[in-house]
Amino acid sequence: VRRAAAGVVIAALASVPGWASLFWVNVGTQVLIFAVFAMSLDLVLGYGGMPSLGHAAFYGAGAYACALIALRVTDGNLLLMLAAGIVSGAAVAALIGALALRARGVYFLMLTLALGQMLWALAERWTSVTGGSDGLFGVSRPALPGGVGPALGPGRNYYVFTLVLAVAAFVALRLVVASPFGRTLAGIRESEQRSRALGYAAFPHQWLTLVIAGAVAGLAGALATLFNGYANPEQLHWTTSGLVLVATILGGTRSLVGPALGAAFIVLMQTGISSLSERSGLVIGLSLVAVVLFLPGGLVGLARRVPALRTATRRG
């Protein structure tokens, strides 16, 4: 049943370019990119139990690396651009993780926030490499490797490309969560002491989780650069970390699907519904306050209370 449901959802998503206007297809691409970003945070926050408020560092690193490779090294090697995003996201996560994992809970949160802001400050000031507050722009979408298939330039084609990678990221994250590694991670989240007594050290598992999530977030950053044609400091700023945290919590953690729904909500508020985008902060802020006060499980938590939906969303 679950596979069938997943198939229906993917088919529905894939059909979007067929009937929607280009504006909504582009909104859809942004939703998918933000969903990949939010799912990677769910691995850290939901499954790993690490409250990160510096997740934008990985995303922004991926975005900048992709833009740098595109502008300085190669023009038109898509694989290299995506790989640069993934590798740099993972590398930044490895570095920040090594520092921040010395602390737990709210201290971890403050450390990730502060270290992420350090990267933001670097991007703002190191103008010769990062373009300063303007960022790096002028990235064009290259063709698929080998020149096979349709060009990625048109918005509809790029939507399909993003959808394929988003589904791949979702599957990869599910595999990680369901693997023995994922089970150990859950054990550490529930009781670090007990896991240690069983011989599972917390640090290597949590660190590797951050690196994996950093790679996925870096992929999202690279996809964003290819979509926008630029990378800018806003992508590294802590409010971006905050927004992806909000998306993850609004949707409901530890489900991967929930954060993707939350991402759709945020993107729709910010860009989709133009009458709202002026006051999007107000709307998102108020929804967040309402969810924290009245709906602790997020959207997925709400769905779990309805028996018919329970089987479809049961935690994996």
Partner 1 sequence: VRQVLQLALDGLAFGGLVFLLAAGLSVIFGLMDVLNLAHGSFYMLGAYAGVSVLQATGSFWLALLIAPICLAVIGALMETVLFRRVYGQGHLSQVLLTFGFTLIFVDLVRWGYGPETRSIAAPSALGGVTSFLGVRYPLYRLFVIGVAAALAVTMIVFWRRSRVGAILRAAVVDRQMVGLLGIDVNRVFTLTFIAGPYLSVYPGMDDVVLVLALVVVVIGGLGSIEGAVVGAVILGMANSFGTFYLQQFAVSLVFAVMAVILLVRPTGLFGIGR
Shortest distance, position 143 Cβ to partner 1, whole Å: 38
> Which residue, 105 or 150, has its beta carbon nearer to partner 1?
105
- The count of other CB atoms within 10 Å of the CB of residue 244 is 29
Cβ neighbors of 54 (< 8 A, separation 6 or more) are 96, 100, 111, 112, 113, 114, 115, 116, 117, 238, 241
Concatenating the DSSP letter of every residue in 27-68 gives: HHHHHHHHHHHHHHHHIIIIIT----S-THHHHHHHHHHHHH
Residue 111 makes contact with partner 1 by CB under 8 A: yes
Give buried/exposed letters for 62-80 (b at 16+ CB in 10 A, else e). Answer: bbbbbbbbbeeeeeebbeb
Name the minimum Å distance from CB 9 to partner 1.
27
Residue 121 beta carbon to partner 1: minimum distance, rounded to whole angstroms: 4
Partnered with residue 87 across adjacent β-strands are none
- The span from the CA of 10 to the CA of 163, in Å, is 9
Q: Rounded to the nearest whole angstrom, what is the least distance from the CB of residue 233 to partner 1 in the complex?
A: 12
The span from the CA of 119 to the CA of 124, in Å, is 9
> Which CB sits closer to partner 1, 221 or 233?
233
9 vs 289 by CB, closer to partner 1: 289
Rounded Cα distance, 123 and 134, in Å: 10
Contacts of 181 (CB under 8 A, 6+ apart): 205, 208
Kindly write out the interface string for residues 261-300 of this chain, putting x where it contacts partner 1 by CB under 8 A and - elsewhere: ------------------xxxx-xxx-xx-xxx--x----
Identity of the residue, 264 or 269, whose beta carbon is nearer to partner 1 in the bound complex: 269
* Residue 102 is a binding residue for partner 1 (CB under 8 A): yes
Contact 112, 53 (CB under 8 A): yes
- Residues 190-249 touching partner 1, rule: CB under 8 A, are 237-239, 242, 245-246, 249
Instruction: Work out whether 133 is an interface residue with partner 1 (CB under 8 A).
Output: no
Nearest to 237 by CA among 88, 62, 113, 99: 113
N residues, the chain: 316
Binding footprint of partner 1, residue count (CB under 8 A): 41
Residue 107 sits in the site that holds partner 1 (CB under 8 A): yes
Site membership for partner 1, residue 53 (CB under 8 A):
yes
Q: Report the residue number, 2 or 279, with the smaller CB distance to partner 1.
A: 279
Q: Interface with partner 1 includes 254 (CB under 8 A)?
A: no
**Residues of the shown chain interacting with partner 1 in the complex, contacts defined by CB under 8 A:** 51, 53, 99, 102-103, 105-107, 109-111, 113-115, 117-118, 121-122, 125-127, 237-239, 242, 245-246, 249, 279-282, 284-286, 288-289, 291-293, 296
